[in-house]
Structure 1
């Protein structure tokens, strides 16, 4: 049942998000749309309470309890970014807002982005592991909560892999923009007698 609740919470997250944006931009009800968006974190609160109640009433921690903690932790870390990502695109499509930034990142800019994303991931890791350890303490039985400690190990391993193959890799082996991105007009034909303009090197290429 807990796994079903996790799925239901994920669905409810996107339903509330879509409803809030639709009310804000299509119906022009800014206050009501804002209230719906503020209700999005309540979905996580429902899942947290359900997990605690299940463990406190004698339930044995299993894979789904750890998954619930991971879901809550990374929703805390990336939930705001997901709302902002959807808000920018919805505003652009239906309310004449500015277009979303679709540039590809290279070099130092890409490395900064990866370090920033990993830093947010560490916030999610810290929240998730905090919830897992809190569950162990609340139950007071290591045998019943062994699955929670296993999940802490899984999340730690995942964060180390993320660190090595993305932020560190992009720092040690920085990517370079394609030649046509660095000088988009270099191959363009010019009128007879004219001189090609100097084109500054760019750091990204629009999708």
Structure 2
């Protein structure tokens, strides 16, 4: 809505798309990780996780890669949707500059 009102597109608008896409793709994983760390650090309890090796490590890495690709696809989709929503009224190139990072 900010862009539609005439505000020039900035890198912060692109970062907002990244924030949303990462929250969607990694939300459950991040919450689980934070819960485990809280239990370990503050409650001095929780499970002792053994390091992943072999096939388990490979499966975990593939899962994380698929989440990363999913976040990228969602983010790019949001950036394109923003540029289409704004239309040709303003320069939306800063939205696409964020993809370089």
**TM bucket normalised to smaller:** 0.7 to 0.9
Q: Which residue of 2 aligns with 1:94?
A: 43
Deviations for 1:160-207, whole angstroms, at most 9, x for unmatched residues? xxxxxxxxxxxxxxxxxxxxxxxxxxxxxxxxxxxxxxxxxxxxxxxx
Task: Report whether the alignment pairs 1:69 with 2:21.
Answer: no
**1:65 positional shift:** 1.1
Whole-Å separation in 2 of the counterparts to 1:142 and 1:150: 18
Alignment of 1:127-206 (within 5 A): 127-141=74-88, 144-152=91-99, 154=100
Matched with 1:40 is none
3-state SS in 1 of match to 2:88? coil
Checking the alignment, whether the CA contact within 8 Å between 2:25 and 2:70 is kept in structure 1 is yes
Q: 1:72·1:128 contact (CA, 8 Å) conserved in 2?
A: yes
- Matched position secondary structure for 1:130: helix
Structure 1: stretches of 5+ with no match in the other structure: 1-52, 156-207
Give 5+ residue unaligned stretches, structure 2.
none
RMSD: 2.3
* Greater RCO, CA 8 A, separation 6+: 2
Using structure 1 for the length normalisation, give the TM-score. Answer: 0.43
User: For 1:99 and 1:89, how far apart are their aligned partners in 2?
Assistant: 10
Distance 1:100 1:68 in 2: 36
Contact 2:9 2:90 in 1 (8 A): no
Displacement of 1:69 in angstroms is 0.8
TM-score, normalisation: structure 2: 0.80
Distance in 2 between residues matched to 1:100 and 1:129, nearest whole Å: 38
